[in-house]
Amino acid sequence: MGRAAAFFRAEGVLVGRPAVLAAGWLAANAQHLGQRAARLGAVALCAPFALGLGDAATGQRLAWSALRGMSEDRVAVLGEEYAREYLLPNIRPTGRDLLERARRDGCVIVVISDLIAPIVAPLADELRADHRVCNRLELRNGRATGRLVDPVVTRFGGAVLRRYAEDHDIDLSASRAYGAAEADQVLLSSVDGPCAVHPDRALRRVAVDLDWPVVEG
């Protein structure tokens, strides 16, 4: 018998900023001035994906590919700065309340994010999350290759979630999940207690159809 967990999608539930903004901010802070414009251009290419046109995972891959060649040191230090400057002061009160309630109910807290590990770590620490599931940049010789390590977190759920639950002794039938975007539908469908928080139009429609609770901030 595993433990009950509460899965929180960071984007939309805990913080308002989409991951692509973080990629853009890191790109705009490249070491060389000349690289900044080129990297920002690469991030801009994923705008259609961010608007829901096309596969979200491809959009994530494209956005983070802008960091190709950036040093691990820079990604780590600036990632932490981004989290402290833009995420921690703007944690959504509704998300925090839901998380605290889940903790009081004895759930293992898992934060899921499209962001990369150096950005998610301070957020997870601030929220005292037990685990975090996030994207990881592939590194070679201390520099980002521009690729994300598989699996890309965007649609976390299904078989990947079941394997994660097994590895961490989590009982999905006693767990709950909080999502905000259409991409979170798979996650919410995989647990006993799904909840849509500030949902986008597509997820709201699904939540109403399936009679999932909807929380507005």
Partner 1 sequence: MQTQDVLADRHLVITGFTGFVAKVLVGMLLEEVPRIGRITLLVRPRGRLRPARRRVEEALETSPVFRTLRAQHGAGLAAWLSARIDAIDADLEQPGCGMSAEARARLASTDVLVHCAGLTDFAPDPLKALSANVAGAANAATLAEELGVPLVHVSTCYVAGNVGTAEVPETLTPGRAPSGAPLQVGAETRALQLACRRAASVEERINIGTARAQALGFPNIYTYTKSLAEHLLAQRTELDCTIVRPSIVECARQRPFPGWNEGLNTAGPLAWLISTPFRRLPTVPEHTFDVVPVDDVACGLAAITAAALTGRAGGVFQLASSDHNPFTFDRAVELTGLGMRRWTRRAGRPIDRGLLAHLDPIPVALDAQGPFEVRRLGRLARHLGRALRADQRADWVPSGVERALGPTLDRVGTAIDDVRGSLDRVEQMLELFQPFIHDNDWTFHTVRARELTAHEEVFRFDLSDLSWRDYWVDVEYPGLRTWCIPILEGERIQGDPPLRPRLQLGNPPAEVRVASK
- Binding residues (CB under 8 A) for partner 1: these are 29, 31-33, 71, 73-74, 76-78, 81, 142
Shortest Å, Cβ 73 to partner 1:
5
In the bound state with partner 1, the residue whose beta carbon lies nearer, of 78 and 124, is 78
Amino acid identity of residue 143, one-letter, is: R
In the bound state with partner 1, the residue whose beta carbon lies nearer, of 29 and 94, is 29
- Let me know: does 39 contact 144? Beta carbons within 8 Å: no
In the bound state with partner 1, the residue whose beta carbon lies nearer, of 106 and 142, is 142
- Beta bridge partners, 5, equal 108
- The closest alpha carbon to 165, from 26, 2, 35, 1, belongs to 2
- Let me know: does 197 contact 94? Beta carbons within 8 Å: yes
Q: Residue 115 in 3-state DSSP?
A: strand
In the bound state with partner 1, the residue whose beta carbon lies nearer, of 70 and 107, is 70
Looking up tokens 């921690």 gives 88
Amino acid identity of residue 113, one-letter, is: S
Shortest Å, Cβ 29 to partner 1:
7
Shortest Å, Cβ 10 to partner 1:
23
